[in-house]
Amino acid sequence: MNYTYENANTLLMSAFPEMKEIYENDIDYDGLPYYQDGAYHFYETEFEQFIIKQLRSKNEAQLKKIFDFIEDIYENGDDELINLVGVAVVESMVFDKCHIEFSDLVFKYCGEKTRESFNDSINAYNIK
């Protein structure tokens, strides 16, 4: 299956129904969902925080699901969607040093392409 950037938010909410409530309940000043046109913002703020929460609670079943989802995007997403996940999720986790604090869980569950993305970000920004 091929995934596209245009469906990024729908894809995330389908995989993680708990994200749908966040998406629908965060309303902007026009009365529209705040994240409606902002997949980068939704993934970077809400999805990354969701991942961190799962890491802190050591929810291994959910972590497997999360990293399988990310790996699936790396394998089947269009270039823009892959960039979204690389920047808004992986790089954000690197900047927050999650790859250090939770390295045992992150690298236990991430797939080959996700691991490569983490390593590229770590090396590019020299965050060790």
Domain ranges, ordered by start, for the chain: 5-125
The residues pairing with 3 across neighbouring beta strands, listed in sequence order, are 77
Model confidence, pTM: 0.89
CA 97/CA 122 separation, integer angstroms: 9
The tens digit of pLDDT for each residue in 47-94 reads 999 999 999 999 999 999 999 999 999 999 999 999 999 999 999 999
The tens digit of pLDDT for each residue in 10-33 reads 999 999 999 988 887 765 556 555
CA 26/CA 30 separation, integer angstroms: 11
CA 57/CA 3 separation, integer angstroms: 30
